[in-house]
Amino acid sequence: MSLKSFIEVSPDSHFPIQNLPFGIFQPKGGKPRAGVAIGDLIADLSVLEDLGHFRSPEFRGRKVFSEDSLNSFLALGRPAWRKVRAVLERLLSSKTPILRDNARLRARVFHSQEKVTMKLPVRIGNYTDFYSSYHHAHNVGTMLRGPDNALMPNWKWLPVAYHGRASSIIPSGADVRRPSGQTKPADAPRPSFGPSKSLDYELEMAFLIGPGNSLGDPVPIGRATDHIFGLLLMNDWSARDIQAWEYQPLGPFLAKNFATSISPWVVSLEALEPFREPLPRQDPAPLPYLRGKDDFTFDIQLEAQLQTSSMKTPHVITRTNFQNLYWSISQQLAHHTVNGCNLQPGDLLASGTISGPTEESRGCMLELTWRGANPLKLPNGEIRKWLDDGDRLTITGWCQGDGYRVGFGEVSGRILPAE
Ligand code: MN
């Protein structure tokens, strides 16, 4: 770890100079603008831009960091993203005096994370949710169809997905109202209407689209990373009883689109590079358009924590890893565009629930409690089959480096009672 900042960052912080994740923040009395997290602080990119630090040709003289979303910056593409990162590494380095030795300038540039409001990082036009964890698909399939027919015949041939709803994607910290809807227990003669009785979380990660492609112009797998800016954490809140009654034959609808929470900081592929791992061999070998040279995944440790209203501290209920995904992000993007579908800057493509092979690595209550059959026993004696009103669910994730972490912060939300 040779790179060091003049800003003090503790070894367990998610935001050392090796990370530099991008987000949109709003200081008290100010407008939303772009920033990068460093330790407990945020560097205000709109101020650095005004001072002329981002003048590479890709910007064509435009100012992108005073906008209230990262969309314009994402549209610029990887050469511009790399240049901005290089400028920030230099400005924040312990060896560079510009900010380090100028208290007045530092006061303009840095904000305390505690004192600002984090907004959604992008304006999301379209949101897609994949179903890419083998163990999640296998567990859910086993519950529905038994272990012999757990995976549908298409699952190992293409990254299965559905189109989600972008308008109900909310920032971390926003409360989630328990949805009401139509449900029908198997033994009931007809459906009834009321608050969901089986509210769940789904531990997921998602990536954001950069420049994107024109309609009719697929992105070959070898060019996929040109269009992937970075990753964030996501909780795909799910109402299992509503889902069970509505999902056939067209897939999830009202069981999912009442709320989807995302973390405020977007970690770039550049920051994740040291944690890259080869994608495990796939059997059967995928069709050629899904076969990437040196396809990869990342070693990202992931946790879900539950805190009920009577618990003093959160309790970890899921421990999993991004490497538990069968399909890579490049495969997801290549598949999404192979028919000519156009992706646009700020589109969100999510992984699906990330479950691993062990019981503790299951990424949702549906699997952890096996549809309520084995309730979770919490340290204070409380029992949960599903999420209760007042429960707070927090997902966090990080890559462990040698003496530092490249982390994603967290995505958190609390359940409010139905209206
Ligand atoms: Mn999902």
Report DSSP letters for 40-81, one per residue: TEEEEHHHHHHTT----GGGTT---TTSSSSHHHHHH-HHHH
pLDDT tens digit sequence for 297-341: 999 999 999 999 999 999 999 999 999 999 999 999 999 999 999
Confidence (pLDDT) at 395: 99
Confidence (pLDDT) at 60: 87
Residues in a beta bridge with 209: 228
253 CA from centroid of ligand 1 (Å): 11
126 CA from centroid of ligand 1 (Å): 15
* Cis amide leading into 153 (omega within 30): no
Contact 117, 63 (CB under 8 A): no
Q: Is the pLDDT of residue 243 over 60?
A: yes
Lowest mean pLDDT among 17-31, 54-68, 381-395: 54-68
* The residue type at 24: I
For residues 228 and 207, give the distance between their C-alpha atoms in angstroms, rounded to a whole number.
7
CATH architecture of the domain 127-416 equals Alpha-Beta Complex (3.90)
Confidence (pLDDT) at 145: 93
Query: What stretches of 215-328 show up as alpha helix (H) in DSSP?
Result: 240-246, 269-272
pLDDT tens digit sequence for 24-49: 999 999 999 999 999 999 999 999 99
In three-state secondary structure terms, 386 is coil
201 CA from centroid of ligand 1 (Å): 9
Residues 6+ apart with CB under 8 A from 190: 184
Nearest of 215, 379, 222 to residue 306 by alpha carbon: 379
Burial 147-178 (b: 16+ CB within 10 A, else e): eeebeeeebeeebbbbebbbeebbbbeeebeb
Half-sphere exposure of 105 (CA within 13 A, CB side): 12
Confidence (pLDDT) at 2: 77
Among candidate residues 135, 136, 227, 336, the one labeled active-site is 136
Q: Is the pLDDT of residue 364 over 60?
A: yes
pLDDT tens digit sequence for 207-225: 999 999 999 999 999 999 9
39 CA from centroid of ligand 1 (Å): 31
The DSSP string of 131-159 is: --BHHHHHHHHHHHH-GGG-S-TTTTTS-
pLDDT tens digit sequence for 120-171: 999 999 999 999 999 999 999 999 999 999 999 999 999 999 999 999 999 9
The full length of the chain comes to 419
Please state the rounded mean pLDDT for residues 17-28. Answer: 98
Distance, CA of 60 to chain centre: 30
311 CA from centroid of ligand 1 (Å): 27
32 CA from centroid of ligand 1 (Å): 29
352 CA from centroid of ligand 1 (Å): 4
pLDDT tens digit sequence for 95-126: 999 999 999 999 999 999 999 999 999 999 99
Please state the rounded mean pLDDT for residues 56-65. Answer: 90
Contact 378, 140 (CB under 8 A): no
**Number of helical H runs and strand E runs in the chain:** 10, 26
* The residue type at 229: F
- Kindly give the pairing relationship between strand 348-350 and strand 127-130: parallel
Q: Kindly report the CATH class assigned to 22-119.
A: mainly beta
Confidence (pLDDT) at 61: 86
Please state the rounded mean pLDDT for residues 43-65. Answer: 94
Confidence (pLDDT) at 56: 86
Contact 403, 274 (CB under 8 A): no
Is residue 53 annotated as part of the catalytic site, yes or no? no
Q: Residue 145 is encoded by which pair of tokens? A: 């169809």
235 CA from centroid of ligand 1 (Å): 8
The pTM (predicted TM-score) of the whole model is 0.98
In three-state secondary structure terms, 390 is coil
Please state the rounded mean pLDDT for residues 59-72. Answer: 95
Please state the rounded mean pLDDT for residues 288-302. Answer: 98
Residue ranges of domains in the chain? 22-119, 127-416
Average pLDDT value over all residues in the chain: 97
Contact 212, 344 (CB under 8 A): yes
In three-state secondary structure terms, 99 is helix
In three-state secondary structure terms, 83 is helix
Instruction: Give the CA angle between residues 232, 18, 86 to the nearest 5°.
Output: 100
Q: What is the DSSP letter of 229?
A: E
Q: Is the pLDDT of residue 1 over 90?
A: no
136 CA from centroid of ligand 1 (Å): 10
